[in-house]
Amino acid sequence: MHETKTDAALSSPWSGGTAPFAMGSKKLGMWLFIVSDTLTFSALLITYSYSRLANPDWPRPFPMNPAIIFSTTMTVVLLASSLTMVMAVMAAQRGDRRKTVLWMIATMAGGLLFTGLHLREWVHLITVEHFTITGNPEGTPLFGATFFGITGLHMTHVMIGVIYLGIVATGFGRGKFSAEDVEVNGLYWHFVDLVWMFVFPLIYLMSVKY
């Protein structure tokens, strides 16, 4: 039988025409983006960790109430939103459009709640405790720069993630996007959650007020 060019291309993983790692280019591209963003946050957190250990006058502005209670709640909320995103991806792979959109809306709600709580934390620190990005009432001014810089960058990622979720949920509900698009969206959301797993202990828990 005459072998077509497609047959030749698909005959082995090395002859071109197959998906590397058995995944589409969108998913592969998202994984590459995640690796690069991981290195960005790693650089920031490593330099923060050094500053934290090198400065004996590092402020401890986070009492149990409200700072640690709020930030722990934020962590649980973000973890819950990751779980709802997993449910959305599973529903998308089953082809259940209605449930996928509902789970994605729940994920967006988690992201918005996280952002709201975080902004409330920021307002309290700035207006009541007088910690700003350029200085603090006590201790090294590096605290304000690192705290607002790192948490601000993370919060930006969360907001972008919420917008991304809205676009994909709308598109998937209308049949414009596929289950793969929901899965790729999920990868980004889980990455945002993963970064917070490092930010919360290093920034909040290392500076609790006893």
Partner 1 sequence: MSTHAQAAEVHAGASVGTNVTVWIGLVAITGLEVFLAYEHLQPALMLGLLVTLSVIKAGMITSYFMHLKFEKFQLVLWLIPATIFCICMMLIFFFPDSFRLLQLRR
Binding site for partner 1 (CB under 8 A): 10, 18-19, 21-24, 31, 35, 38-39, 42-43, 46-47, 49-50, 52-54, 68, 72, 75-76, 79-80, 82-83, 85-87, 90, 93, 183, 186-187, 190-191, 193-194, 197-198, 200-202, 205-206, 208, 210
Kindly tell me which of 76 and 119 has the beta carbon lying closer to partner 1. 76
Q: Is 129 helix (H, G, I), strand (E, B) or coil?
A: coil
Smallest CA-to-CA distance from 187 within 78, 100, 89 is with: 89
**Exposure string (b/e) for 119-137, b if CB count within 10 Å is 16 or more?**
eebbeebeeebebeeeebe
Kindly tell me which of 37 and 129 has the beta carbon lying closer to partner 1. 37
Smallest CA-to-CA distance from 80 within 103, 57, 54 is with: 103
Closest distance to partner 1 from the beta carbon of 206 (Å): 6
Kindly tell me which of 90 and 106 has the beta carbon lying closer to partner 1. 90
Closest distance to partner 1 from the beta carbon of 133 (Å): 23
Closest distance to partner 1 from the beta carbon of 115 (Å): 19
Closest distance to partner 1 from the beta carbon of 207 (Å): 9
Closest distance to partner 1 from the beta carbon of 73 (Å): 11
Kindly tell me which of 144 and 186 has the beta carbon lying closer to partner 1. 186
Closest distance to partner 1 from the beta carbon of 194 (Å): 5
Cα distances (angstroms) measured from residue 90 to each of 64, 120, 188: 37, 33, 16
φ and ψ at 95, to 5 degrees? 90, 10
Kindly tell me which of 50 and 160 has the beta carbon lying closer to partner 1. 50
Q: What angle do CA 160, 162, 165 make, to 5 degrees?
A: 110
Kindly tell me which of 87 and 145 has the beta carbon lying closer to partner 1. 87
Q: What is d(CA 87, CA 179) in angstroms, rounded to the nearest whole number?
A: 12
- Number of CB atoms found within 10 A of residue 204's CB: 21
